[in-house]
Amino acid sequence: MVKKIIIFEDNSGLRKGLEELLQLTDEFVVIATHDNCIQAEQQVKENNPDVILMDIDMPGRSGIEAVKIIRSFNKDVQIIMLTVFDDSTHVFDAICAGASGYLLKKNVSEKLIPSIKEVLEGGAPMSPSIAKMVVNSMQQSTATNIYKFNEKEKLILSLLCKGNSYKMIADETGYAFETIRSYIKKIYEKLQVHSATEAVSKAIKERLV
């Protein structure tokens, strides 16, 4: 089934480039593009997309604020942030607001389509430098294991936070896909969350891994 995509990006050249890039595959269709996200709530409700590509820095309202609004009524749509920012404040604010993934614009031509596929498979894709920053932040944590994760669960949560899909985690660990699914279900239960986005957000907020 073809997946529907909305693009929020104020740079007209990049917006057109993203649309043309997505036209190279028959797996996705761009149903709307916008140069700001002021009317994001109405536009998302009207179009019911599967994936949203959201710039952070836009006139009138930031992409992070738009994500918060979208998440207030839609928990299922996948939202990938596209930005030039790679500082921890923007990254963590975006993920904690409910973003499903985070890509730097300089990586977009190479990473966009694989990242959309990953996010639709349950992953939380990030540009390599972003993932490294998140992992480094977590490694500096002194938080206790209040959720009583075992070593395998901690490993899988860590891989999930690096932006890996279930299949990629299975390939990395050597476990069967269904085994990974079972472990992630247990992780969700312990964290009291229902998605990869919520799990990554909570792990980052509480520095769990």
Summarised one tens digit per residue, pLDDT across range 116-132 is 998 898 888 777 767 76
Count CA atoms closer than 13 A to 171's CA, side-chain side. Answer: 5
Phi, psi for residue 147 in degrees, rounded to 5: -95, 0
Phi, psi for residue 34 in degrees, rounded to 5: -140, 145
**Token digits of residue 109:** 């031509």
Q: Name the CATH superfamily housing domain 3-124.
A: Response regulator (3.40.50.2300)
User: Residues of CATH 1.10.10.10 domain(s) within the chain?
Assistant: 134-206
DSSP state of 2: P
CA quadruple 85, 168, 122, 184: dihedral, nearest 10: -110
**Cα–Cα distance measured from residue 171 to residue 111, given in angstroms and rounded to the nearest whole number:** 19
Q: For residue 122, how many other CB atoms are within 10 A of its CB? A: 20
**Cα–Cα distance measured from residue 14 to residue 130, given in angstroms and rounded to the nearest whole number:** 21
User: Residues of CATH 3.40.50.2300 domain(s) within the chain?
Assistant: 3-124
Per DSSP, the residues of 61-129 read S-HHHHHHHHHTT-SSSEEEEEES--SHHHHHHHHHHT-SEEEEGGGHHHHHHHHHHHHHTT---B-HH
Question: Tokens 């860590």 identify what position?
Answer: 158
Which residues, 6 or more positions from 194, have their beta carbon under 8 angstroms from its beta carbon? 75, 188
Class of CATH domain 134-206? mainly alpha
Secondary structure class of 200 (helix, strand, coil): helix
**Token digits of residue 14:** 């990049």
Q: What pLDDT, in 10s, does the model give residues 65-91? A: 999 999 999 989 999 999 887 666 787
Q: Which residues of the chain have pLDDT under 50?
A: 142, 144
Beta bridge mates, 82: 55, 103
The predicted pLDDT at position 142 comes to 46
The predicted pLDDT at position 90 comes to 80
**Token digits of residue 44:** 């998302």
Write down the pTM of the prediction. 0.69
